[in-house]
Structure 1
Amino acid sequence: MDIEPEIRTAAGVVRGRWETSVAVFRGIRYAEPPVGPRRFAGPIPARRWDGVRDAGVFGPPVPQVNNGGAVMSSVSGEVDDGSEDCLTLNVWSPDLGGANLPVMVWIQGGTYLENNTANPHCDGATLARAGVVVVSMNYRVGADGFARIAGAPNNRGILDQIAALCWVQDNIAAFGGDPANVTVFGQSAGAASIAALLVMPSAAGLFRRAISQSMPGTYFTPGLADAISTTIAAQLGVRATVSDLARLPPRALTNATTALIAKLPEFVDVWGPMALTPTPFSPIVDGDALPYAPWTALARGAARNVDLLIGHTRDEFRLYTSRPGYERTPQQMAMAFHHLCPGPDGERRYRTAYPDATPAQRFEILNSDWLFRMPSLHLADAAHVGGGPVRFYELAWSFNAEQGASHCLDFLLLFGTLSPDEVRDHRSAHANAAEEIAYVGQCIRTDWVSFAATGNPGWAAYDPRARSTRVYHAEAVTRPYLEEASRRIWAGYRFDTLDLTS
């Protein structure tokens, strides 16, 4: 197909490309640029334009570390290189006719600090060829998207996601998608954003199904978020208000955030467990736009009409511990067990549950449990209590001994962007891993697409007794939950918002 496809959206006409049997539209503006007086405001829909806008390249990334665009240094609305136009989305469609295909909207993760849909590992073409319309969006991150700022709405990054979902409702039929059959799916910070969307009144009705991949269990009270924002602003000699921060370029905020991250553990006695995470940002449970933490709201029946697919990888925190230079001292590991374990005897319970593990391995298991695995499992428990349909999965397959089934591996398999050659060339690749990757990725894609189409990925619904889990290994099997030892340690714990400890 050589003819460049043109689609009329509510705001104007966009011209995409046909690429290996998939129509691709990149960089479609869904909201007005967040600069000048809109810098810390909620998003407003894109204004209409005349003529045809080319949609052949991804839009510029939102302000974040390592983004050198002009929007990073400008505080006005007059940016001369177009980099301010960063609230854009992308569409991959295998059929621009009236196919009414399921729609899958990807919400990328990145510790609430990074978001760039031009990441080649999030290319939606392979998934679209499986029979769905795929959408991804840029949304504000860092202080611009998630800091608590006096005079600005909370959770601006999630408000951007809602604006993109509204765009999908208004426009996706023209791209071959069914606006009544939308599935949001996301990983890490994207998964936690989805858990928030499930319980936010302003997101009600915008999607029918949701897939949460490796959801971090950190949601902040306004008091904790205030303390963090005040500290970031103080490094710049200002207050955490719109009037003060609007005078600073985005680069100043990203630099101040980076400086704070380097010394986060120093705040653990006041800020609590969040100071031992890789980021100072998380969704803010303000009792208004985000009324409750997701576990509480789902257990009370919120989103019971939304089909849920929830899960995690086996070795979540290996992504961090396998990095060169990450080694922790015995004192640092003891601090983690003191602040993260459920109950005063948590370290002893981990030694009992994992007697053959080294202290470093138990530290990794603890962080995997506290930050990703148990929040995901407890979210499934809460959804079941609330009467909603939920399925559960775990990725146990890995291709190398160093990283295992680490955080982020799941979406590389889903999108099919990790090549057999990359696997084969890894210094600790398992035998047959290059041959297995195609099978495992295809299994995940098939199940995700089936879920998006019907709500049933192909295995039994989750309940807290049988804990039926789809386990992706060299072969996909359905069996009881794998991480029983950790589940028992955390059985009496209740995830909720994180607050100041003093």
Structure 2
Amino acid sequence: MTIAGAGSASAGSEPEVRVAGGAVRGRLEAGVAVFRGIPYAEAPVGGLRFAAPRPAAGWDGVRSAVAYGPPPPQADVLGGDPSSGGAAGDNWLTVNVWSPEPDPTATLPVMVWIYGGAYTIGASSRPEYDGGHLARDGGVVVVTFDYRLGMEGFAQITGAPANRGLLDQVAALEWTRDNIAAFGGDPNDVTIFGESAGAGSVAALLAMPRAAGLFRRAIAQSVPGTFFSPQLAADIATSCADELGLRPTVADLAGVDPALLALAADAVAGDAVAATMTTRAQRWGQAAHRSILFAPVVDGEVLPATPWQALAGGASRDVDLLAGHTRDEQRLFTAITGLLGQVTPEQAQTALEVFAPGPDGAGRYRDAYPDASPDQLYELVHSDWLFRMPTLHLAQAQVAGGGRVYLYELTWPAPGLGGALGACHGLDVPLVFGNLTSGQPALLIGERPTPEAAALSARMRAAWTAFATRSDPGWPAYDPDLRRTQVFDTSPVVTTYPEERSRLIWQDHSFAPLLLRAM
């Protein structure tokens, strides 16, 4: 393979390419050229704190690109300690590239991953996001990147643009457009894909005029339905700043250690969970009940409308979409909170009253699922409200707007924890990337993946890369009449959308921005 900018027609163990900022040197890993930690924007610190991203400055000589950049500021969800991503001058806005052929004449399809984490946690350096298997097996160039989270990226701060995390994502896609040819990728053949908050970001990008033309296809895995009104986002930001005795303004917050902002937000989230009938919970409604403090803000400028509104209006009819969810989205969260198998009838009823749609949503769930236990009802309504129905409605909106979409559901139960997690939220990520034995994937899939897990992973990787290559994952497109859906399990099958009872309950619901409630 030819290495662009290296003056050599053969690849060594340290491949080099030249991007807009200068030359970068990566390394060869299992036949794939890998480049990590390349800045796509200036560090959002000092005078750039809470500002829109600016293009990264260049450098002299050859920059080493073998280590990931620091993660964006966030709380350590395992240890409870904050992470500021390293020294204050470190840049959290970096990209990573895996290429099976870093030759500018190669023009390979490009897949750009956006990680999830409730718009609050996450890092491209997590082992499950390693793009080696996808690049090598699928013949695609894989790009991952970091973007601002929590207060840094999504809080409504006076004097700062809204949706800074989404603007970071646009900047990373612009960097991809301008530089990916050097790695053998085709800048006109880009597919974005993401899971959970990453899928919500994909949905937002489909609705954003600033992102138009930066990608040709999109894959949305478990789209959350949480988008905020500016008033709700501003009220939450005020509460987070109050924890530090400050106002939610650039003037007050620009000098605060990012780690302290992450801790302040965590404190507010904990308060909302501990007492759901507090004044905050009454103001924030469903967001407080699920301890959701950050989400894309429908501000009318960066994000003019919700994805469901925008797609139904034809905003991305020329972008092919692959969308889907897992069957048991809520199960993992139920286990984390210690409620697995412990949900009381009262807790199930409260969940139905808070999250089911319409004036008699609770009754409709009980009628549709007459034999469901409290645990099942609790998980059904949470799964439907947060992920399953937003994903289905996104697919339906794309069809209504004149676009093409392919729908799937993952029903294969995770073997981890004795199979108690079912087809839970996040299970699709290791299967799509093929990284089955490290970090969280080991918890879900087990220390020793079974042949069935490996085979399912291979099928899903093949479908994702086929879609990124030719807009055809291998099953019929979704239409509102037949509702054909690819079900991924030990024996995959194409069938009518499986969650018909939930579909009917939610068919008249509109996923509008979550509002600040009047007191």
TM-score by length of 2: 0.91
Task: Tell me the residue number matched to 1:122.
Answer: 129
Once the two structures are overlaid, the 10-residue window that deviates more, 335-344 or 253-262, is 335-344
Task: Tell me the residue number matched to 2:367.
Answer: 352
Task: Tell me the residue number matched to 1:493.
Answer: 509
Where 1:470 maps in the other structure, the secondary structure is strand
Shift of 1:188: 0.3
Task: Tell me the residue number matched to 1:298.
Answer: 311
Shift of 1:323: 2.3
Shift of 1:252: 1.3
Identity %: 52
In the alignment, which of 239, 256, 273 is matched to residue 264 of structure 2?
Answer: 256
Alignment of 1:415-494 (within 5 A): 415-419=433-437, 434-494=450-510
Task: Tell me the residue number matched to 1:96.
Answer: 102
Alignment of 1:217-296 (within 5 A): 217-264=225-272, 265=276, 266=278, 267-296=280-309
Task: Tell me the residue number matched to 2:376.
Answer: 361
In the alignment, which of 311, 325, 332 is matched to residue 324 of structure 2?
Answer: 311
Where 1:322 maps in the other structure, the secondary structure is helix
Q: Deviations over 1:111-138 (max 9, x none)?
A: 1111211100111000001210000000
Between the two proteins, the alignment pairs up a number of residues equal to: 492
Alpha-carbon distance in structure 2 between the residues aligned to 1:187 and 1:492: 25
Q: Deviations over 1:315-351 (max 9, x none)?
A: 0011101226245554443332212111222222212
Alpha carbons 1:211, 1:310 under 8 Å: kept: yes
Alpha carbons 2:73, 2:84 under 8 Å: kept: no
Alpha-carbon distance in structure 1 between the residues aligned to 2:73 and 2:440: 30
1:418 alignment partner AA: L
Shift of 1:71: 5.3
Distance 1:56 1:68, change over 3 A: farther
Where 2:75 maps in the other structure, the secondary structure is coil
Shift of 1:240: 0.5
In the alignment, which of 50, 60, 63 is matched to residue 53 of structure 1?
Answer: 63
Alpha carbons 2:344, 2:374 under 8 Å: kept: no
Alignment of 1:106-117 (within 5 A): 106-117=113-124
User: Structure 2: where are the runs of 5+ without partners?
Assistant: 1-10
Q: Are residue 21 (structure 1) and residue 31 (structure 2) matched?
A: yes
1:378 alignment partner AA: H
Q: Are residue 140 (structure 1) and residue 155 (structure 2) matched?
A: no
Alpha-carbon distance in structure 1 between the residues aligned to 2:439 and 2:284: 44
Distance 1:449 1:355, change over 3 A: same
Task: Tell me the residue number matched to 1:205.
Answer: 213
Alpha-carbon distance in structure 1 between the residues aligned to 2:242 and 2:442: 49
Where 1:254 maps in the other structure, the secondary structure is helix
Alpha-carbon distance in structure 1 between the residues aligned to 2:443 and 2:93: 37
Task: Tell me the residue number matched to 1:155.
Answer: 163
Once the two structures are overlaid, the 10-residue window that deviates more, 180-189 or 338-347, is 338-347
1:32 alignment partner AA: E
Shift of 1:278: 3.9
Once the two structures are overlaid, the 10-residue window that deviates more, 347-356 or 448-457, is 347-356
Alpha-carbon distance in structure 2 between the residues aligned to 1:158 and 1:46: 17
Distance 1:50 1:68, change over 3 A: farther
Shift of 1:36: 0.5
Once the two structures are overlaid, the 10-residue window that deviates more, 319-328 or 396-405, is 319-328
Shift of 1:399: 3.0
Once the two structures are overlaid, the 10-residue window that deviates more, 231-240 or 346-355, is 346-355
Alpha carbons 1:399, 1:423 under 8 Å: kept: no
Distance 1:339 1:89, change over 3 A: same
Task: Tell me the residue number matched to 2:398.
Answer: 383
Alpha-carbon distance in structure 2 between the residues aligned to 1:4 and 1:424: 31
Shift of 1:68: 5.7
Where 2:191 maps in the other structure, the secondary structure is strand
Alpha-carbon distance in structure 2 between the residues aligned to 1:399 and 1:198: 31
Distance 1:501 1:199, change over 3 A: same
Shift of 1:7: 0.4
Once the two structures are overlaid, the 10-residue window that deviates more, 342-351 or 205-214, is 342-351
Alpha-carbon distance in structure 1 between the residues aligned to 2:191 and 2:53: 22
Task: Tell me the residue number matched to 2:3.
Answer: none
Alpha-carbon distance in structure 1 between the residues aligned to 2:443 and 2:507: 41
Shift of 1:69: 5.5
Where 1:285 maps in the other structure, the secondary structure is coil
1:65 alignment partner AA: A
Once the two structures are overlaid, the 10-residue window that deviates more, 127-136 or 246-255, is 246-255
Task: Tell me the residue number matched to 1:87.
Answer: 93
Alpha-carbon distance in structure 2 between the residues aligned to 1:25 and 1:501: 47
1:367 alignment partner AA: H
Alpha-carbon distance in structure 1 between the residues aligned to 2:508 and 2:128: 38
Where 1:182 maps in the other structure, the secondary structure is strand
Once the two structures are overlaid, the 10-residue window that deviates more, 174-183 or 476-485, is 476-485
RMSD across aligned positions (CA)? 2.1
Where 2:133 maps in the other structure, the secondary structure is helix
